[in-house]
Structure 1
Amino acid sequence: MSENATFLAEDDATARKIIIRVHRPDYHCREEIESELAWIRDIRATTEVDTPAPLPTTTGSPVLSIIAGGLTLQVVAFEHAAGAEPDIGDSLPEWFERLGAVTATLHAHSRRWQLPEGFVRKRWNLETMISAKGLWGDWRDAPGMTVSEVHTINEAIPYIKSEIALYGIAPHRYGLVHADLRLTNLLVSQEGMSIIDFDDCGFCWYAYDFAAAISFHETDPSVPQLREAWLKGYRSVAEFSVAEEAMLDTFIMMRRILLCAWLATHQESKEGKTLSDGFSRETAEMARHYMTQRGHQVREGHDPVDQSREGQQDNQLQHNNMRMA
C-alpha cells in the first residue's frame, strides 16, 4: 500500500506471476491510466528501457472497473519483473549511473514521441506541487510540522519561484517524465535494472527526475556522489546542460516540499509510518541551507538564476517563432 494497493497474483497451474494494481480512488481518471499504459507500451516497443508490460484483459481494455466497499476502483495488471529495490550503500552509485542513462533514454523518447489522440496526464508545476491546493495536498499539514518550520519553508518558496520563472518551460526542458524514479521503483538484479510504476508520470521539468530519484534520502551524505553518477550516466546518452545542472538543487527542494504534502495525505503508507518523525524538521533545515547557498552565490557573483537565463531566452525565441508561424 503506497499511492495504490498492489498485489502479487500467481496462477497455480502455470506458476505465472502477475502484478495487479488497484488505483487509489479520486486520483487518476480512466483516460489518465490508459494514457500511462500507452506510453509504457511505446517505450517497450521503441527503446531498450526494461519495464514490465501492461497486460490485456478479456474486455479489450487494459483497465477494469470494479466495485468494492461502495467505491468504483480502476484496476490494471502488469507482467511480474524479478529484482529487488537497491539499498543506500556502496553499490548505489553504480545503479545511479545506469539510472541516469535510462532517464536520458526516457527523456529522448518523450521529446520525439507524438502523443496519441486523447492522451491525458497531470501537469506538475508550482501550483500542483507546492501550493496549498497541490495534487498531493498541503505540505503544511505534514505530520509534526511546526509553525517555525512552516515559516522557514515558506521563506524558501520565493527563491524557488524566481528560479523556475527564469528557467522556463521550453519544450527541451519540460515534457512527459516518469516523475517518480525513486529507489522503490527500481528493480535491480544480476540481469540489470527494471523500472516500474509510471503512476505519477506527467508533464514536468526533465531535470526534476533526478530530484525524484533521491526521494526521502535528500539529506544522506551519499547524495553528491549519486548526483555525479547520475549525471555521468545521463550524459553518456544525451546532453544535460550546465543550466539544467544548476537547477537540480531547486528541484530537490521542490520535491522535498512535495513529499511533505504526500506524507500528510498518505500516513497509512510505509513511508508515512516510518518517516514522519523529524521529516519536516529536516525539510526546514534543507530550506535554510538552500536559501543560504542561494544568497552566498548571489554575493559571489555566481547566481544560479543567471545560468538559467538561457531558458528565458529560449522561451522568448519560442514565442517569437510561434508569432512568425
Structure 2
Amino acid sequence: MTDFYTLSDAEQIARLENLAKVALTRWDGTFDQVKLIKYRENAVFSAQRSDGTKVAVRVHRHGYHSDAALLSELHWMQTLADAGIPVPPIVRAACGSPFIKAEAPGIPEPRQVDLLGWMAGSPVGSSEDGLSLDPESAERLFFDAGVLAAKVHDHTQAMALPENFTRHAWDENGLIGDEPLWGRFWELEALTPDQRDLLLRASACARRDLAAFGRNAANYGLIHADFVPENLLSENGQLKLIDFDDCGFGWNMFELATALYFNIDEPYYPAIERALFAGYRSVRALPAETEALLPLFLFLRGTTYLGWIQTRPETQTARELGPMLIARLCQLAATYLAEAALPVSEGPAG
C-alpha cells in the first residue's frame, strides 16, 4: 500500500472523506453530501443528515491530541455553548460518546472523529488574504471580537475544571522552550544567520519578561488560541467562534495578539487594535500595563507560525506563507526588542 503521508493532498482527502463516511454510520440517522471544508491539521467536512440537519465532521490528525485532551476540548466547548456563547454544539454518537475512532482502507491508523452542529455565517476573512472590510466595519468587527474573547475568558475563569481535564499549554515552554508545541522555529532552514540571531535575542528577552509578568487568574487560563479571521463567523451582526483544536492554557494577551496578528499590515490597523481592546474592556478588566505587552505577545504568536512551517515544510501553507511569516516575525522581533521593558506584574503567579 502506498504510504498515506507521501500522497498528494487530493489523494489524502479522498481517503479521509471515505473514513468520514464510515464514521458517520456511528451516529443516528443517515448522512450524505459529504464535502470538504478545510484540510490543515484536521480534515473538516460538511454533511447533511436525512432530517435536513447540517453538521461538521472533523477527522483528526493522527497523534495530535490524546483521547483525554480531545474529551477536554469538547467538554469546554459544551460548557461555553451551555453558557450561551456562540460556539458549535457537540453532536454525540449513537453510543453517547462525544467522539469515536474509525478506520478506513488506505489510512494506516484509526482516527478520532467528532460531529459538531453546523454554525451558520461567513468567515470574516482569512489568514492568507486578511479582511475585505471598510474601516468602519473592521472597527465594529474587532470591537465585537474583543467582547467575544472577554466572555470566553470570563467563563473560563469562573468554571470548575473536571479532575481529568488536560490540554497543552501555550506557556514559556510551549512557546519558546527547548521543544515548543509547534516546533523549533529558530531551526527553520530558510532563516539567515542574522534573522536567527534576532529571533534568539528576542526569545531570551521574552523569557525574562514573561517571568516578570507571571501567571494568575486575571491574566492566564484556558484560551481558544486561534482567534484568526477564518474562525470568526458573522451572521446578521452576531459573531461566532469555531475551531477549538488549538485551545489550551495560556495568557489572555496571547489570545488578543492572535486576533490582530494577520492584520498588522492593514492601513487601519491602529483603529482595529483600539477597537479590540475597547470591546474586551467593555466586559472584562485589562490593565494598561498589560495592554502595553502587546509587542511581546505578537512576537510570541509569530514564533508559533514559524515553528509550524519548520515541522511541516512539505505543506502548501508552508510554501505559500513561509516568506511572509519570516519577514513579519523578524519585524515584530525588532519592534519588541526596541520597546521591551520589564512589565508590572498583575499579581503573584498562580
For 1:124, the equivalent position in structure 2 comes to 170
* Counterpart pick for 2:348 among 312, 315, 318: 315
**Shift of residue 270, structure 1, vs aligned partner:** 5.7
For 1:28, the equivalent position in structure 2 comes to 65
- RMSD of the alignment, in Å? 1.9
Instruction: Verify: 1:229 aligned to 2:272, yes or no.
Output: no
**CA displacement, residues 157-211 of structure 1 (integer Å, 9 cap, x when unaligned):** 1221121111001222111111111111111122511100111111101121111
For 2:116, the equivalent position in structure 1 comes to 78
Q: Would the alpha carbon gap of residues 309 and 43 (structure 1) be closer, same or farther in structure 2, given more than 3 Å must change?
A: same
For 2:211, the equivalent position in structure 1 comes to 165
For 1:67, the equivalent position in structure 2 comes to 103
The question of whether the paired residues in 2 share the 8 Å contact of 1:149 and 1:281 is answered with no
The question of whether the paired residues in 1 share the 8 Å contact of 2:150 and 2:284 is answered with yes
**CA displacement, residues 121-165 of structure 1 (integer Å, 9 cap, x when unaligned):** 111112112234111111124462222211111111122112111
Instruction: Verify: 1:57 aligned to 2:93, yes or no.
Output: yes
For 2:28, the equivalent position in structure 1 comes to none
- Taking the aligned partners of 1:284 and 1:86, their CA distance within structure 2 comes to 27
- Taking the aligned partners of 1:143 and 1:221, their CA distance within structure 2 comes to 31
What SS class does the counterpart of residue 203 from structure 1 fall into? strand
**Shift of residue 21, structure 1, vs aligned partner:** 0.7
- Taking the aligned partners of 1:292 and 1:263, their CA distance within structure 2 comes to 26
* Counterpart pick for 2:151 among 81, 105, 113: 105
- Aligned residue pairs total 302
Q: Percent identity?
A: 28
What SS class does the counterpart of residue 315 from structure 1 fall into? coil
The question of whether the paired residues in 1 share the 8 Å contact of 2:186 and 2:199 is answered with no
For 1:41, the equivalent position in structure 2 comes to 78
- Taking the aligned partners of 1:114 and 1:135, their CA distance within structure 2 comes to 25
Q: Would the alpha carbon gap of residues 153 and 219 (structure 1) be closer, same or farther in structure 2, given more than 3 Å must change?
A: farther
**CA displacement, residues 189-241 of structure 1 (integer Å, 9 cap, x when unaligned):** 22511100111111101121111112433444433222111111111111111
The question of whether the paired residues in 1 share the 8 Å contact of 2:69 and 2:166 is answered with yes
What SS class does the counterpart of residue 18 from structure 1 fall into? strand
**Shift of residue 263, structure 1, vs aligned partner:** 2.1
- Taking the aligned partners of 1:265 and 1:18, their CA distance within structure 2 comes to 31
For 2:179, the equivalent position in structure 1 comes to 133
**Shift of residue 2, structure 1, vs aligned partner:** 1.6
* Larger RCO (alpha carbons 8 Å, 6+ apart): 1
The question of whether the paired residues in 2 share the 8 Å contact of 1:30 and 1:63 is answered with no
The question of whether the paired residues in 2 share the 8 Å contact of 1:2 and 1:270 is answered with no
Q: How high is the TM-score relative to the length of structure 1?
A: 0.87
The question of whether the paired residues in 1 share the 8 Å contact of 2:299 and 2:332 is answered with yes
The question of whether the paired residues in 1 share the 8 Å contact of 2:168 and 2:248 is answered with yes
What SS class does the counterpart of residue 277 from structure 1 fall into? helix
**Shift of residue 6, structure 1, vs aligned partner:** 0.7
